[in-house]
């Protein structure tokens, strides 16, 4: 065709040249001029004619190429390497394959190419304070697998007071497709359901289904025109950094430590996990002991720390990605905060104050009644009072030290436990019910424990002297753990984030505060004068003080029923009957009124009671019910859902064995006034039940530097979470809600 065109042009040129010569000759003939003239055309005329011919040839050559390209397209199969751009509001989207023809057993890349309009952007894996990451749902033939999105390095978009992470301009999201070796089809259909959020000042969600058919042949054929796009997608991704990295969230701060040398200079970092950092807050980047330390304030809505997170580090024009392990995940690593003398001294004062107030908590009073009897007995003997006071103090300190060591050891092993953890064990709760019931029967005069084996059990609490005082201190700490007094939460939260020696000192300060009143009574003559003189009234008082122990037994049985169910509760009740019969027989034997086999029968009944406790089968989960309409069960997902929707939320972390929690609910949270306040302000009330161990609740407590319940947190849109006092009054909730609503309306 081209040669035919050239021939025609040349023929036309010769014809034009011939016509030119004839025209010149005719002109000279008509004019009668006889001189010889040149019949060649002038140079300019030749150049003009030659240029026309060249242009014509070029056009004909282009037409030849176009015809050849169309002929090639008609002869290839109906497969493509791109869907072509599809238009959506403010963005164009296409699906592109690295290969136009693939082979069985091959892996190749597929790109979701996003092209938003100028000044519009899409979002990263972690969109930041708002937004939604782009997602792809694949529908592929059987056996064909695809990886997750290989995310490019994000950009930060500051929209005060928010900070978002995403991409402007051409964005290539790569995924790797693996074709099985036994794939027998002649074509491969890639079907992707893509969804995104594209934003400028407003945000518009979008979704689209893209289908891309590829040929399957013995030999793969790359799609040459799109190799540059695939290369762009690879180049936009951060480089994997093979360094040891770990992170922790404590004291309201996210911290990551990366093993590094001086060659890594980081300007900024992105945390891929959502709800870990406060994205708009300033980042701290420093060096500590040859490692890179990255810090940023903890996110307001933080609820759980993953075992592993991905972090992107920005270093000049380069970016790196590193995987960071949570410090207490699957290892014996402990989470320790930076030690400061001022904070340490404050923690000691708070612990001592919390221990002092702990004596006023209802869960401690039954045991303190035992100590009151001892003080009354020794009111005239100053030396004995001092000895008993120090023995009691030593028992309290020893038990606090033991609890501290157990907590530290379990945390080092990765277990999520907290203050009062021992009462999450149904067998221990049942055993304490036996112990308090036995102590009550002893105070009622049913039995008098001697100096034999019974001294190892409940009888120690009834002994006079140092041994009885020591055991009373031990028992007081065991039953005090369900209570959290003011100042205790902050001190315990600080203690569990410190090294073992510092944590132990804080626990000892808590114990010293609890024992302090008895030391003051022993050493202060003025206070000692307030104690009554010993007399007959003491026996009556002792019998009256048995009833708080019986009530404590009832409470422990109720806790056991909530933990392990009614069947387990019934078994322990039968055990209490056996224990009462055993102690009655033993008491009659002490008075010489029993029959010959009474001691043996009493021991048999006591062993039966113990056996009934051992064989109980706790059921899974607490018996707490959400039948009350004004609250819902707490969960991290539900809390995240409500806070994302900017809904006011009240979170109550409680447990059935927490006396303070139950009193607060009865006095301040389950009242008609509080119910009405929740309804008036549109607050969703979430209750977390820590009666049995719950790792999610433990993590939530730690996020607020608490190691036990109760914990009350108010979430209000646009405000920092507000932690309410541990001791609530009937008007606490309504007053706080009114104050939050007023400040919001003023703003």
Give the relative orientation of helices 672-680 and 732-746 as an angle to the nearest 10 degrees. Answer: 20
Query: What DSSP character marks residue 42?
Result: P
Q: Are residues 205 and 288 in the same domain?
A: no
Q: Are residues 742 and 650 in the same domain?
A: yes
Report how far apart, in Å, the C-alpha atoms of 728 and of each of 370, 431, 661, 724, 743 are.
29, 31, 9, 8, 22
pLDDT in tens, 704-720: 877 677 889 999 988 88
Yes or no: say if 107 and 222 are a contact pair by the CB < 8 Å rule.
no
In-domain check, residue 9: yes
Does the pLDDT at position 287 exceed 90? no
Q: Are residues 223 and 372 in the same domain?
A: no
Q: How confident is the model at residue 148 (pLDDT cuts 50, 70, 90)?
A: very high
Q: Are residues 217 and 140 in the same domain?
A: yes
φ, ψ dihedrals at 81, nearest 5°: -110, -5
Does the pLDDT at position 4 exceed 60? no
More confident residue, 355 or 627: 355
In-domain check, residue 403: yes
Does the pLDDT at position 625 exceed 60? no
Q: Which residues is 138 bridged to in the sheet? A: 192
More confident residue, 122 or 515: 122
* End-of-domain residue from the set 237, 258, 273: 237
Does the pLDDT at position 55 exceed 70? no
- Check the CA dihedral 290-291-297-298 and report its sign: negative
pLDDT in tens, 397-409: 888 888 778 766 6
Report how far apart, in Å, the C-alpha atoms of 566 and of each of 165, 211, 537, 575, 623 are.
53, 59, 40, 14, 10
Q: How confident is the model at residue 31 (pLDDT cuts 50, 70, 90)?
A: very low
Q: Are residues 498 and 516 in the same domain?
A: yes
In-domain check, residue 599: no
φ, ψ dihedrals at 108, nearest 5°: -150, 165
Mean pLDDT (the chain) is: 75
Q: Are residues 360 and 470 in the same domain?
A: yes
φ, ψ dihedrals at 217, nearest 5°: -140, 175
In-domain check, residue 662: yes
Could you tell me how far CA 90 lies from the centroid of its own chain? 35
Domain count, the chain: 5
* End-of-domain residue from the set 530, 546, 562: 546
Most confident segment among 86-95, 498-507, 512-521, 530-539 = 86-95
Place of tokens 């995310």: 151
Query: What DSSP character marks residue 176?
Result: E
Please give the pLDDT value at position 620: 47
Please give the pLDDT value at position 340: 55
Task: Pick the closest to residue 479 from 614, 361, 564 (CA basis).
Answer: 361
In-domain check, residue 271: yes
Please give the pLDDT value at position 533: 57
Does the pLDDT at position 46 exceed 50? no
Q: Are residues 355 and 214 in the same domain?
A: no
In-domain check, residue 113: yes
pLDDT in tens, 416-455: 445 555 556 677 777 777 777 887 787 777 776 543 333 3
Q: How confident is the model at residue 665 (pLDDT cuts 50, 70, 90)?
A: confident
Retrieve residue 60's tokens. 């004909």
pLDDT in tens, 342-351: 667 877 887 7
Place of tokens 């002792």: 542
Q: Are residues 411 and 265 in the same domain?
A: no
Does the pLDDT at position 93 exceed 90? yes
Kindly report the CATH number assigned to the domain that includes residue 132. 2.60.40.10
Please give the pLDDT value at position 11: 45
* End-of-domain residue from the set 36, 56, 75: 75
Q: What is the DSSP string of 628-670?
A: STT-EE--HHHHHHHHHTT--EEEEEE-TT-HHHHHHIIIIIS
Q: How confident is the model at residue 623 (pLDDT cuts 50, 70, 90)?
A: very low
pLDDT in tens, 546-565: 777 787 788 778 777 766 77
Percent of the chain with pLDDT over 90: 21
Q: Are residues 34 and 94 in the same domain?
A: no
Q: How confident is the model at residue 173 (pLDDT cuts 50, 70, 90)?
A: very high
Kindly report the CATH number assigned to the domain that includes residue 674. 3.40.30.10
More confident residue, 470 or 590: 470
In-domain check, residue 64: yes
Most confident segment among 32-46, 165-179, 338-352 = 165-179
Give the relative orientation of helices 488-495 and 500-523 as an angle to the nearest 10 degrees. Answer: 140
Region 32-46: what's the mean pLDDT?
44
Does the pLDDT at position 310 exceed 60? yes
Q: Are residues 365 and 319 in the same domain?
A: no
Yes or no: say if 71 and 148 are a contact pair by the CB < 8 Å rule.
no
Q: Are residues 377 and 250 in the same domain?
A: no
| Containing structural domain, residue 676 | 632-746
Please give the pLDDT value at position 354: 75
Please give the pLDDT value at position 414: 47
Q: Are residues 216 and 296 in the same domain?
A: no
Retrieve residue 137's tokens. 């749902």
In-domain check, residue 39: yes
Does the pLDDT at position 494 exceed 70? no
**Strand pairing category for 135-139 and 187-199:** antiparallel
pLDDT in tens, 524-542: 766 656 655 555 555 676 6
Helix H or strand E encompassing 121: strand 121-128
Helix H or strand E encompassing 6: helix 2-31
Q: How confident is the model at residue 519 (pLDDT cuts 50, 70, 90)?
A: confident
């Amino acid at each position: 065709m081209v040669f035919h065109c050239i021939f025609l042009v040349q023929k036309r040129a010769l014809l034009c040249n011939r016509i030119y010569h004839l025209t010149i000759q005719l002109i000279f003939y008509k004019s009668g001029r006889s001189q010889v003239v040149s019949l060649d055309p002038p140079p300019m005329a030749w150049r003009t004619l030659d240029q026309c011919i060249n242009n014509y040839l070029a056009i004909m050559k282009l037409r030849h190429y176009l015809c050849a390209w169309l002929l090639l397209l008609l002869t290839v199969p109906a497969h493509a390497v791109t869907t072509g751009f599809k238009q959506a509001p403010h963005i164009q989207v296409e699906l592109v394959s690295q290969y136009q023809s693939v082979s069985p057993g091959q892996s190749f890349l597929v790109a979701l190419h996003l092209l938003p309009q100028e000044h519009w952007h899409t979002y990263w894996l972690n969109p930041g304070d708002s937004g939604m990451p782009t997602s792809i749902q694949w529908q592929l033939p059987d056996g064909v697998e695809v990886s997750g999105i290989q995310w490019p390095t994000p950009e930060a978009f500051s929209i005060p007071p928010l900070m978002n992470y995403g991409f402007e301009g051409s964005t290539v999201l790569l995924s790797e497709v693996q074709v099985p070796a036994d794939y027998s089809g002649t074509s491969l259909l890639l079907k992707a359901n893509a969804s995104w959020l594209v934003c400028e000042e407003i945000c518009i969600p979008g979704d689209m289904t893209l289908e891309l058919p590829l040929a399957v042949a013995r030999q793969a054929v790359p799609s040459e025109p799109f190799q540059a796009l695939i290369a762009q997608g690879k180049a936009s991704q951060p480089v994997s950094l093979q360094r040891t990295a770990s992170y922790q969230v404590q004291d309201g701060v996210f911290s990551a430590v990366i093993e590094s040398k001086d060659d890594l200079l980081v300007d900024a970092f992105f945390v891929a996990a959502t709800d870990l950092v406060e994205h708009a807050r300033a980042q701290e980047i420093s060096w500590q002991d040859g490692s890179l330390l990255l810090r940023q304030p903890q996110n307001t809505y933080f609820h759980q720390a993953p075992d592993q997170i991905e972090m992107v580090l920005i270093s000049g024009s380069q970016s790196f990605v590193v995987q960071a392990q949570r410090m207490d995940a699957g290892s014996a690593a402990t989470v320790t905060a930076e030690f400061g003398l001022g904070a340490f001294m404050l923690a000691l004062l708070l612990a001592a104050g919390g221990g002092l107030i702990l004596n006023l908590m209802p869960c401690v009073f039954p045991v303190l009644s035992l100590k009151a009897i001892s003080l009354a007995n020794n009111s005239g003997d100053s030396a004995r009072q001092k000895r008993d006071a120090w023995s009691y103090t030593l028992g309290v300190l020893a038990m606090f030290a033991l609890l501290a060591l157990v907590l530290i050891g379990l945390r080092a092993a990765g277990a999520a436990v907290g203050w009062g953890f021992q009462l999450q064990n149904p067998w221990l709760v049942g055993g304490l019910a036996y112990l308090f019931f036995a102590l009550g029967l002893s105070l009622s005069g049913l039995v008098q424990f001697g100096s034999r084996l019974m001294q190892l059990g409940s009888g120690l609490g009834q002994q006079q002297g140092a041994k009885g005082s020591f055991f009373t201190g031990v028992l007081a700490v065991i039953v005090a753990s369900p209570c959290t007094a003011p100042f205790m939460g902050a001190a315990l939260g600080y203690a569990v984030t410190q090294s073992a020696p510092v944590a132990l000192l804080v626990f000892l300060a808590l114990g010293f505060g609890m024992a302090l009143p008895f030391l003051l009574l022993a050493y202060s003559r003025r206070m000692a004068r307030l104690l009554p003189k010993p007399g007959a009234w003491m026996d009556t008082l002792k019998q009256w003080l048995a009833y708080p122990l019986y009530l404590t037994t009832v409470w422990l049985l109720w806790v056991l029923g909530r933990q392990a169910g009614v069947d387990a509760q019934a078994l322990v009740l039968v055990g209490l009957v056996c224990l009462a019969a055993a102690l009655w027989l033993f008491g009659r034997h002490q008075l010489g009124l029993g029959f010959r086999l009474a001691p043996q029968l009493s021991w048999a009944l006591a062993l039966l009671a113990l056996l009934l406790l051992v064989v109980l089968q706790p059921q899974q989960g607490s018996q707490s019910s959400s039948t009350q309409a004004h609250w819902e069960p707490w969960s991290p997902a539900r809390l995240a859902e409500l806070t994302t929707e900017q809904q006011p939320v009240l979170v109550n972390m409680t447990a059935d064995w927490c006396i303070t929690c139950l009193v607060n609910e009865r006095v301040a949270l389950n009242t008609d006034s509080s119910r009405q306040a929740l309804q008036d302000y549109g607050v969703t009330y979430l209750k977390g039940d820590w009666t049995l161990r719950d790792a999610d609740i433990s993590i939530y407590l730690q996020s607020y530097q608490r190691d036990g319940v109760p914990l009350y947190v108010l979430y209000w849109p646009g405000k920092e979470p507000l932690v309410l006092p541990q001791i609530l009054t009937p008007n606490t909730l309504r007053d706080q809600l009114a104050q939050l609503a007023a400040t919001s309306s003023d703003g």
